[in-house]
Amino acid sequence: MAEIGISEMTIGVSSQGVEDYSESIRVEVLQNLSQTLDEEVAKVKTSLAQAWTGESEQVFEELLDKQVTVIKEDMESEYNDLNKKLVNLIGYYKNQDKKLAETMMGGSN
């Protein structure tokens, strides 16, 4: 049983560590930022209600909501891209380990 962990390594990867890292970025990018976006846009709408009313104002709010949705979707896409890269990263390390094993097996034959 290995007694070395990622914290003692100088080169290596921890699947669980990458998962935790990815989750912390997800929470920051998608959850906290998205929540702040909703809160701030709600403030804008409250302020807007004091200033403007009419069909054109309703269209303005609809466009604002659409823009917020676009921002959230784009942020989610960015996060998904990042997550894929991190998963690929785990793959690189694992392949490296596997190739080393194959090389050693080949060397022993």
Give the binding site for other proteins (CB under 8 A).
6-7, 9-14, 17-18, 20-21, 24-25, 28-29, 32-33, 36-37, 40-41, 43-44, 47-48, 50-57, 60, 63-64, 67, 70-71, 74-75, 78-79, 82, 85-86, 89, 93
User: Rounded to the nearest whole angstrom, what is the least distance from the CB of residue 21 to other proteins in the complex?
Assistant: 4
Cα separations in angstroms, 70 against 17, 65, 90, 98: 31, 9, 30, 42
Closer of 39 and 105 to other proteins (Cβ): 39
- How many of the other CB atoms lie within 10 Å of CB of 75? 15
Closest approach, Cβ 75 to other proteins, in A, equals 6
Assess contact for 22 and 82: CB atoms under 8 A: yes
